[in-house]
Amino acid sequence: MAVYIVTNRRVDQNNQISIDGREKAQSCFRIAKFHEYQKGISDQQIHECYSLLGDYGLRGYRKLLDTPADQREGTQALFGNLYEDMVGKSGDVMFFIHGFQNDLHDEFEGIERLKEQYLHSAEHPQRKVKHLVYLSWPSQSDLKYERDQEDARDTGVMLGRLFRNLRMFFADMFEKDCLEPCRNNIHLVAHSMGNQVLDHMLKSLETDDLKPLFTESILFNPDVDHDVFTDEGGMRRLTSIADRVHVYMHRSDEALLVSRYTKNGKRRLGRSGPAYPKNLPDFVYVVDITNTKSVGGVNNMFDHWGYTECPEVVQDATAVLKGEGTFSIPSRQQHESVNPWKFILP
């Protein structure tokens, strides 16, 4: 199991990532290797939970495998080390984008929850995801929403550059050098306002950038306008880079109700579903999780964090990540209407 962090939080002269996340999103990104986090540790101790991996590394990746793993920097370390971990072995990668109101402690707790709920382990050998890449972006604004959308937009543009680097890696390593493919998958997952980051990333990409690199894409409780799958919305481009898309929505998501009335007033995709369901792109499916129950935590109040707190949601999403058929995942009920794209849990 390997966990990496991509961050556009501020990094100080001591190579320490900003903890509170109230700074403006940086235009550049850094890569770090995550070790382990224990709840309750101090701000100083949290910096022992990761190691920054240099700056960006060299442009291009064709000589990457000639460089020892401990001497690689930036995206060379991220892409090269993951490739060597994955080639010839069973194990997928999840790229995860968190939502609003997270300091560094919140993010690292979130990483540990994702490891527990979705990653392969001795207790859960049936899971296919073995590695996690976690996007850490400054999203802590004291619930005032003063700069969150601006930071999400800037982070999305930055993420577009990372995506282009990944495209360059694939072109250099496989299309030119014809190296052995790893035969495993990369999945793209976003929660809440992380979906705004993803939407802006997709809008920032040129048409030539839209190459299929991801297998599954999962949008948990997306805090984006409900019309993002129309021609004007960035999410319509998601099916150009991912094979299949699942949107998880909850009609009682109180966090998204707050979001609607503190932003532009539009309905939120994660609470209301898509604006024009009959015009959804192919291979986009909606899972209504309104009937699911949390086993604890703040989800009892807001119904917003079911992806780690509701067993039914975790089980369904795990089946998606394993590649099970859309219409054959256990406990799903297909919506009995004109919407064959929609399922209900449980």
Nearest to 212 by CA among 167, 181, 179, 172: 167
Nearest to 131 by CA among 102, 181, 96: 96
pLDDT at 144 over 60: no
- Which residues does residue 286 pair with via DSSP β-bridges, in sequence order? 247, 342
CB 236 within 8 A of CB 285: no
Give the model's pLDDT for residue 147: 66
Q: Torsion-angle region of residue 321: left (phi > 0), alpha (psi -120 to 50) or beta? A: alpha
- Average confidence score pLDDT of the chain: 89
User: What does the alpha-carbon distance between residue 177 and residue 167 come to, in Å, rounded to a whole number?
Assistant: 14
- Within a 10 A sphere around the Cβ of 331, how many other Cβ atoms? 12
Give the model's pLDDT for residue 22: 79
DSSP state of 268: B
Burial class (CB in 10 A: 0-12, 13-18, 19+), 196: buried
Task: Give alpha helix (H) positions in 43-176.
Answer: 43-46, 74-86, 104-118, 148-170
Domains of the chain: 2-344 (3.40.50)
Confidence grade of residue 117 (pLDDT, cut at 50, 70, 90): very high
Q: Which residue has the tokens 């209504």?
A: 288
User: What does the alpha-carbon distance between residue 90 and residue 109 come to, in Å, rounded to a whole number?
Assistant: 26
- Which residues does residue 102 pair with via DSSP β-bridges, in sequence order? none
- Rounded to the nearest angstrom, the gap between the alpha carbon of residue 311 and the centroid of all alpha carbons in its chain is 19
Q: How many Cα atoms are found within 13 Å in the side-chain-facing hemisphere of 195?
A: 27
- The token pair that represents 339 in the structure block: 């919407």
Give the model's pLDDT for residue 66: 80
- The token pair that represents 122 in the structure block: 């001795």
Burial class (CB in 10 A: 0-12, 13-18, 19+), 157: middle
Per residue in 241-289, pLDDT (tens digit) is: 999 999 999 999 998 988 766 666 689 999 999 998 888 999 999 999 9
280 Cβ contact partners less than 8 Å away, ≥ 6 residues apart: 229, 274, 286, 341
Give the model's pLDDT for residue 337: 66
1 Cβ contact partners less than 8 Å away, ≥ 6 residues apart: 115, 119, 120, 121, 130, 131, 132
Give the model's pLDDT for residue 23: 81
Per residue in 306-330, pLDDT (tens digit) is: 999 999 999 999 999 999 999 999 9
SS (HEC) of 269-287: HHHHCCCCHHHCCCCEEEE
Q: What percent of the chain has pLDDT over 90?
A: 64
- The token pair that represents 200 in the structure block: 């802006």
Per residue in 289-302, pLDDT (tens digit) is: 999 988 766 556 68
Q: What is the average per-residue pLDDT within 3-19?
A: 94
Q: From the DSSP assignment, how many helices (H) and strands (E) are in the chain?
A: 11, 11
- The token pair that represents 185 in the structure block: 């998958």
**pTM to 2 decimal places:** 0.95
CB 241 within 8 A of CB 159: no
User: What does the alpha-carbon distance between residue 341 and residue 111 come to, in Å, rounded to a whole number?
Assistant: 30
